[in-house]
């Protein structure tokens, strides 16, 4: 196991059910990477900056951030804005996972620098397929530069 494989997959999702389903799908993908689930934007930034409740986490950036848009306190687009504006966080791959088919959400996500935009399918098989593919691609296949 090299260093890259040990990187975490950060799941930012307020819905417990969605989170559970996503975790199931990632498990089914047989990812070795640990999956960390945070429930809103504020907690996501806490994790990324290793502060607050996450002050004592293991160092290192996540391999990918799976980011929901609609969340309480701070939504996904605000998180994305903050990440892309931060020298240390701007290279972390972000996949927006959303139920929204709204063009505006899609366009804004791309404008803000999302690496992918995935609409969560209602069809459960499609959903599992999508999450498995995502996990494999971003956590295993994708080569991200080392953090500065």
Q: Does 99 bind other proteins (CB under 8 A)?
A: yes
Q: Which is nearer to other proteins, 8 or 98 (CB)?
A: 98
Q: Does 102 bind other proteins (CB under 8 A)?
A: yes
Q: Which is nearer to other proteins, 21 or 144 (CB)?
A: 21
Q: From residue 20 to residue 49, what is the string marking binding to other proteins with x (rule CB under 8 A)?
A: -x--x-------------------------
- Closest by CA to 64, choosing from 101, 36, 98, is 36
Number of Cβ within 10 Å of residue 78's Cβ equals 17
Sign of CA dihedral 57, 87, 66, 131: negative
Q: Does 17 bind other proteins (CB under 8 A)?
A: yes
Q: Does 127 bind other proteins (CB under 8 A)?
A: yes
H/E/C letters for each residue in 62-123?
A: CCEEEECCCCCCCCHHHHHHHHHCCCCCCCCCEEEEECCCCHHHHHHHHHHCCCEEEECCCC
Which tokens go with 33? Answer: 């990477």
Piece in contact with other proteins (CB under 8 A), picked from 48-56, 71-79, 93-101, 139-147: 93-101
Piece in contact with other proteins (CB under 8 A), picked from 30-38, 55-63, 81-89, 116-124: 116-124
Q: Which is nearer to other proteins, 63 or 97 (CB)?
A: 97
């Amino acid at each position: 196991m090299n260093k890259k494989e040990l990187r975490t997959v950060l799941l930012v999702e307020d819905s417990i059910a969605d989170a559970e389903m996503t975790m199931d799908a990632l498990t089914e993908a047989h990812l070795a990477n640990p999956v960390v689930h945070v429930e809103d934007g504020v907690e996501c930034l806490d994790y990324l900056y290793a502060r607050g409740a996450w002050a004592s986490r293991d160092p290192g950036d996540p391999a990918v951030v799976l980011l929901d848009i609609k969340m309480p306190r701070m939504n996904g687009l605000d998180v994305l804005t903050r990440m892309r504006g931060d020298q240390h966080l701007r290279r972390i791959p972000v996949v927006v996972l959303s139920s929204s088919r709204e063009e505006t959400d899609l366009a804004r996500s791309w404008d803000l620098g999302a690496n992918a935009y995935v609409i969560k399918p209602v069809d459960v098989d499609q959903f599992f397929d999508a999450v498995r593919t995502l996990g494999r691609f971003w956590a295993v296949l994708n080569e991200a530069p080392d953090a500065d």
